[in-house]
Amino acid sequence: MSSLRIFSTRRSDAIFWAGLCVLTLGAAALGLWTGSVKLEPAQVLDALTGRDGTSAAARIVLYSRLPRTCAAMLAGAALAVSGAVIQTVLDNPLASPSVIGVNSGAGFAVALVCAAAPLAQRYTPLAAFGGALAGVLLVAGLSRRTGASRMTVILAGVAISAMFSAGIDTVVTLAPDAISGVTDFRIGGFTGVTMAQLAPAAGVIFAGLGIVLSLSRQMDILALGSDTAQSLGLSVGPVRFILLVLAAALAGAAVSFCGLMGFVGLIVPHTMRRLLGEGSLSLMVSSALGGAFFVTMCDLAARVLFSPFELPVGIILAFAGAPFFLWLLFKQRGGRT
């Protein structure tokens, strides 16, 4: 996966990361401040610092906008890093959690748990991880055993995604009340998310991000190719499996509270790779920050563009991601990536 690196020194990388941190924090501030109900910045600060915990403004901030903003940042970071890891492991720039069936696998597992044990919904992050892992291992196994081309692997991933989506439809048809807000879950969004829902998924996401960053050197070696990595002493099989497990954990944790949100893991890693190059550490850090910024801004747009009506953020992401995927697809066919 070649790219034209725009930022070419460590100093410029650091400046870029600092700017991205500022943008991400600014997006979070806008998420807390802006919405269908207009609030003053002082009201938001009073609610966050505990000086006001009972007014209508404080309840809006603490029980609606704060969980939603945290959810957008967590989902964006998790899905973007998951996509970056999957692209590195499969050596395929078109791969992402939503394209190759990882998200839909997680969604199918969540639907099964909700239908079979409605009172066990606290285990949905674990179920989502299992479903995501099944999806990513199916595609990775196909890639390794058949030596299929990049395009064939993507088409197989689309087929696997369709299979899992059909499974979700089956569960919803047989148990209509299995998933509350089925439409929002299928499209992807943060309506009604609570801090209690976020807590277990947040633990998985932070742990997963930390482990991925600690394996950045191994990813750099893996990106050189299996034969080269093996000659350099890297245990390619175990490292590849661990990375895929981490990618599945990140995507599954995000799906457990945001639904089947697409294209984040495709758009953000490609953008960051174009800006910073192929170095795994810089790519993973910038993907986490960029994903948090991107999804938070898309969620903000979903809330305010048609206010007082609200779009699921998955619709905004689909409008942005589908043309981006088609561009990458035609670029691949032209042999220019």
User: What digits encode the pLDDT tens for the residues 269-327?
Assistant: 988 888 887 788 889 999 999 999 999 999 999 888 887 778 888 888 888 887 887 87
Q: How confident is the model at residue 10 (pLDDT cuts 50, 70, 90)?
A: low
So what's the pLDDT on residue 178? 67
**42 three-class SS:** helix
The confidence score (pLDDT) of residue 324 equals 82
Average pLDDT value for residue range 223-245: 86
User: Which is nearest to 109 in space by CA: 94, 88, 130?
Assistant: 130
Q: Which residue in 264, 261, 283 sits closest to 324, CA to CA?
A: 264
What's the rounded Cα separation, in Å, for the pair 309 and 324? Answer: 27
Mean pLDDT over each residue of the chain, to the nearest integer? 83
Residue 3, phi-psi category: left (phi > 0), alpha (psi -120 to 50), beta (remainder)? beta
* pLDDT value of position 196: 87
pLDDT in tens, 84-116: 998 888 887 777 888 778 888 888 888 888 888
For the ranges 65-74, 103-112, 140-149, the lowest mean pLDDT is seen at: 140-149
Per DSSP, 234 falls in state -
- pLDDT of 332 reads 63
pTM equals 0.85
Asked if residue 230 has pLDDT above 80, the reply is yes
Give alpha helix (H) positions in 147-235. Answer: 150-174, 182-187, 195-214, 216-222, 226-231
At residue 337, the pLDDT reads 44
Residue 2, pLDDT score: 47
CB 129 within 8 A of CB 252: yes
What does the pLDDT look like over 186-205, one tens digit per residue?
Answer: 788 888 888 988 988 899 99
